[in-house]
Amino acid sequence: MHLDLLSSLNKARTERRVAVIVTEVNGSEQRLVREHEIENDPLAPLLTRQLQVGKSALVDEEGHSYFLELHVPAPSMMIVGAVHISQMLAPMARMLGYPVTIIDPRSAFATATRFPDISVVTEWPDQALPKIGLDRWTALVTLTHDPKIDDPALAAALKAGCFYIGALGSKNTHAKRLERLSALGLPAEALARIHAPIGLKIGAATPGEIAVSILAEITQRRRQGPELSR
């Protein structure tokens, strides 16, 4: 790999941006395709498909073989609310490779005893999230039903462009939530990105089943994108 290509790749990694190294098999061509260049690349459909799959692969196009080496930032999960659902969701998410952080200012609930081996932050989301950092590779889930805790987290996630944003609550609860967030100046198209009621509709009833439905919806959103996951 040429030094200039390696330098560009390291820069993309530092900025937590997608980059793909395209190597022509049995040829001398090797190039780096950055995130903003994908749609105009000659291999755009193949690159897009492989990004959805999330794995590097050998592909063929018009009689030529290419190896697409994906460099995609690792996704993380922020769970706002140290509740029973969180106790089920956090370890499940870790099994799928997500670094998980629980955020809840209520220190009686947000404890290491209830969340062993999980990062727990006992601060209000508007204090914790700027320090932790959100980006488009973050899934944010709010589960407290408390607007003072959930709403600031949702607003921050929408502004950061998190790839998944979900909120627990009924349709009526969510309608009131949208009114509050709209009053904060968030546009309707941004608010439409919130998945609520949260989780896929699988008839989930117990905390464990709800956690499964949430994780399934996050997986669907991550792998299929916003259009196909609806």
Question: How do residues 134-187 score in pLDDT, each as one tens digit?
Answer: 998 999 999 999 999 999 999 999 999 999 999 999 999 999 999 999 999 999
pLDDT recorded at residue 225: 66
pTM assigned to the model:
0.80
- Residue 229's pLDDT band, with cuts at 50, 70 and 90, is very low
Number of H helices, E strands in the chain: 8, 10
- Residue 228's pLDDT band, with cuts at 50, 70 and 90, is very low
pLDDT recorded at residue 52: 77
Beta strands in the chain (DSSP E): 19-24, 30-34, 57-61, 64-71, 76-80, 100-103, 119-121, 138-142, 164-167, 194-195
- Those residues whose C-beta lies under 8 Å from the C-beta of residue 182, and which sit 6 or more positions away, are 188, 191
- Where do the structural domains in the chain lie, given as residue ranges? 3-71, 76-228
Question: How do residues 34-82 score in pLDDT, each as one tens digit?
Answer: 888 998 999 999 998 888 777 899 999 888 899 999 988 889 999 999 9
CATH for the stretch 76-228: 3.40.50.720
- Residue 16's pLDDT band, with cuts at 50, 70 and 90, is confident
